[in-house]
Copies of this chain bind each other. A is one copy, B any other.
Amino acid sequence: MADQAFVTLATNDSYARGAMVLGKSLRNHNTSKKLVVLIGPQVSEPCKSLLKSIYDEVRVVDVLDSGDTAHLSMMKRPDLGVTFTKLHCWTLTQYSKCVFMDADTLVLSNIDELFDREELSAAPDPGWPDCFNSGVFVFCPSMETHGKLLQYCTEHGSFDGGDQGVLNGFFSDWATADISKHLPFIYNLSSIAIYTYLPAFKQYGGSAKVVHFLGKTKPWSYKYDPKTKRVTGSVQEADTHSTFLLDWWNLYSTAVVPMMHEEYGDQPFHSG
């Protein structure tokens, strides 16, 4: 459907690499939806151009330039920069419904059925499970909602300093109101859950549809040897989500890297 889209965000070239892999994974699983990436002004030209060949729409967002409300809110809460940028997705009003996905997520099968859900649908956060994780959520673009979100953000801030705190504060009845707004955890399987409750992962992890590399170490923080198809770096962490990490790197090296080489030679990425 032309008025439904997957949306992600990348404010720099590192997260842009994540967005490329995410976009490729959605395409590989034959999504029928549009793909939109919001990028920050620092994303380099080569990256931007590559994103354009994967996504239907690449939109440069700069909260400080995006209108009075956002500008004023931002001035009062300069600490919430990336958060304000993520909230920008509500302004995509040419779409009636969207699914936001963090740039550090990877799709493992077609997930177009998420568009049957209503705003705000999301999966529980492991750690504090009455909060939803804001790495994957269904929403309906609306300037009105966007304005209210910015206002909420300015007045209450974010209890965790990021978008997840703001969104959980704003959509505060998620835990108690409507079970259909609880996406199954397999649509946002945080790599952290693998080791905190391994037997559950072994029981249910095989059905995973989206894996989310949340936390400090992102897939692109590791090094990968395309010849041996192995990931190196902080071995301990790599071990815990090794197959998903290999999936990410496999897609990156087979689908993204060749596109880069074709268009820009060996070292297209500068910022990071």
Q: Which residues of A contact B (CB under 8 A)?
A: 123-131, 159-161, 165, 175-179, 182, 184-186, 192-193, 196-197, 199-204
Contact = CB atoms under 8 A, between A and B. Distances in A.
A201 B128 contact: yes
Contacts of A203: 159-160, 165
Contacts of A201: 128
Given A126-B126, A127-B193, A131-B200, 5 more contacts: A129-B129, A130-B185, A159-B203, A161-B199, A192-B196
A173 to B, nearest CB: 10
Contacts of A196: 126-128, 192, 196
18 contacts: A124-B130, A125-B129, A125-B197, A127-B197, A128-B185, A128-B200, A129-B129, A130-B185, A130-B186, A131-B197, A159-B203, A160-B199, A165-B199, A175-B185, A176-B184, A177-B179, A178-B179, A179-B179
Number of copies of this protein chain within its complex? 2
Nearest 6 Cβ contacts at the A-B interface: A128-B200, A127-B197, A124-B129, A129-B129, A160-B199, A127-B196
Contact of A175 (B161, B184, B199): B184
A12 to B, nearest CB: 24
A201 B192 CA distance: 18
Given A125-B197, A126-B129, A204-B130, A176 B165 contact: no
A129 B129 CA distance: 6
Contacts of A184: 130, 175-176
B176 A128 contact: no
B176 A127 contact: no
B126 A160 contact: no
A127 B125 CA distance: 8
Given A127-B197, A131-B200, A175 B165 contact: no
A179 B182 CA distance: 9
Contacts of A204: 128, 130
A261 to B, nearest CB: 40
Contacts of A125: 129, 197, 200
Contacts of A126: 126-129, 196
A197 B159 CA distance: 11
A123 B186 CA distance: 18
A127 B126 CA distance: 5
Contact of A200 (B127, B192, B193): B127
